[in-house]
Copies of this chain bind each other. A is one copy, B any other.
Amino acid sequence: MDYDIIIVGAGILGLSSAYYLQKNNPNKRILIIEKEGGIAQGETAKAVGMFRNIFTSYTNRLLADTSINFYIHIQKEVMDINLKFDKYLWLVSKEQFERFSSIIESMITSKEIKILEREELRKIKGMNLDVESDEEAKIMGLKNIYKGLLGLKCGSLDQHLLARYYKEQFENLGGEIQFHTKVNRLIIAPKKKLGISKEPFVWQDSRVAGVLTNKGEMYADKIILATGALTNELLDPIGIDSHMKPKKRQVFQIQDSHLNELLNIEGFNDEGTIPFTILPKSGIYMRPVKGEKSFWIGCADDLGRSFSLDTTPEEDFYYYNIYPVLIKYFPQFTNLRVKNLWAGLYAYNTIDGMPYIFEKYGVIVVTGCSGSGLMKADAIGRIVDGLYRGEEFVRLYGNLNFRVSDIGVEKRNVDREEFLL
């Protein structure tokens, strides 16, 4: 056994986990193995790169808030990760506002959000607040914009730079990464080998002892899967439930000079753009990317979209499902075509929308972040380390204590997240 810990996956969660593991277990030999040729080239690369501390779940808010605080610390004290407070703008209907009134109230109190009244929203030129006067929009079930909720500690960062931060910290502590190493399956071995062929048998006490890769077998005291939406490919064959379903999510880039007025609005953020904006329907969101004079647009599709590993982007999806809604609120997008598009996979936890971090049969699994792993990666890395060390509580950034089992399987104790995008 050459390594104490093998982490599968050099995405943001694998890297942050690796860093805290190496930091708190300095005598352990830790190896990350990654199928791609570099870090953060899987789902991390496809993420929209936004962060927010606005969630309905208390635990989610906590995990994001402490992680964002840590990212701010990195940006200020350590290195540029291109962290910017673009802010989030939820455009909500009256019904939505009333439905979430108690949580909105608490976020106003804690100064996490600011309410924007309709008069203030009118400074977003060309935005149509009153879609219900449009017959077509009415038939489509679109609602007038009643208020805006401006998330203040929300913005964007460069996930590649953040990933590089964790990688460098990990390597500085002596951690190793091996690229182009794909895990084909997990290896199960009995804790006490009998030396009989066909081991392990059902009556033996067994555990996940290693990985079979394209470069051969590798064994470690502990295997950690930070394989996101691909986790079922490794766990299903050995009968461990990841509690996660993979689902395609697409991003469409629209680039046009008609969008300039949205990309040049003073008063919301330092960039002078409209914030990252979420429409009142279907979780349709638009991220302004001023440098490329474009918007990245996506939506929180649900029913009718399969759980699968398909990542083929579908241009038609934009025209049928997003465009008709988008142009009612933002007529600037009328007739604009998709310039570029890509699709990634959400590791979707359908039960409570929160991450799963648990150990079973000797393998530690971190998955199920449901599209908001990047903004919780720091907390998650610390929790993975705490789980490895068998700690009941782990210290998150800012000296917050978090009970490790709360985010596990058997003693899970989280409230359901309703703001999934």
Asked if B308 and A236 make an inter-chain contact with CB atoms under 8 angstroms apart, the answer reads: yes
User: A290-344: which have CB < 8 Å to B?
Assistant: 299, 301-308, 320-322, 324-325
Q: In which size bucket is the chain A interface?
A: 35 or more
Asked if B198 and A238 make an inter-chain contact with CB atoms under 8 angstroms apart, the answer reads: no
Does residue A139 face the partner (Cβ distance < 8 Å to B)? yes
Does residue A174 face the partner (Cβ distance < 8 Å to B)? no
CB of A323, distance to nearest CB on chain B (Å): 10
> Residues of B contacting A307 with CB < 8 Å?
236-237, 239, 241
User: A253-293: which have CB < 8 Å to B?
Assistant: 281-282
A202 to B326: give the CA distance in the assembly, Å. 12
CB of A391, distance to nearest CB on chain B (Å): 23
Asked if B139 and A198 make an inter-chain contact with CB atoms under 8 angstroms apart, the answer reads: no
Does residue A243 face the partner (Cβ distance < 8 Å to B)? yes
Asked if A206 and B320 make an inter-chain contact with CB atoms under 8 angstroms apart, the answer reads: no
Asked if B361 and A203 make an inter-chain contact with CB atoms under 8 angstroms apart, the answer reads: no
A361 to B304: give the CA distance in the assembly, Å. 10
CB of A222, distance to nearest CB on chain B (Å): 16
Asked if B304 and A200 make an inter-chain contact with CB atoms under 8 angstroms apart, the answer reads: yes
Q: Which of B139, B142, B239, B303 contacts A305 (CB 8 A)?
A: B239
Residue of B nearest to A363 (CB): B303
Residue of B nearest to A199 (CB): B320
**Contact (A203, B303) CB under 8 Å given A194-B139, A239-B247, A351-B409:** no
Q: Which of B201, B207, B238, B325 contacts A203 (CB 8 A)?
A: B325
Does residue A188 face the partner (Cβ distance < 8 Å to B)? yes
> Residues of B contacting A52 with CB < 8 Å?
none
Asked if A240 and B303 make an inter-chain contact with CB atoms under 8 angstroms apart, the answer reads: yes
A361 to B305: give the CA distance in the assembly, Å. 13
Residue of B nearest to A207 (CB): B303
Asked if B239 and A281 make an inter-chain contact with CB atoms under 8 angstroms apart, the answer reads: no
A175 to B301: give the CA distance in the assembly, Å. 37
Does residue A416 face the partner (Cβ distance < 8 Å to B)? yes
Asked if A204 and B141 make an inter-chain contact with CB atoms under 8 angstroms apart, the answer reads: yes
> Residues of B contacting A321 with CB < 8 Å?
201-203
Does residue A410 face the partner (Cβ distance < 8 Å to B)? yes
Asked if B324 and A239 make an inter-chain contact with CB atoms under 8 angstroms apart, the answer reads: no
CB of A35, distance to nearest CB on chain B (Å): 21
Residue of B nearest to A205 (CB): B141
A140 to B282: give the CA distance in the assembly, Å. 57
CB of A123, distance to nearest CB on chain B (Å): 26
Residue of B nearest to A243 (CB): B351
- Can you sample 13 A-B contacts with CB below 8 Å? A141-B204, A141-B205, A202-B322, A203-B325, A236-B245, A237-B308, A238-B305, A239-B245, A239-B305, A241-B245, A241-B307, A241-B350, A351-B409
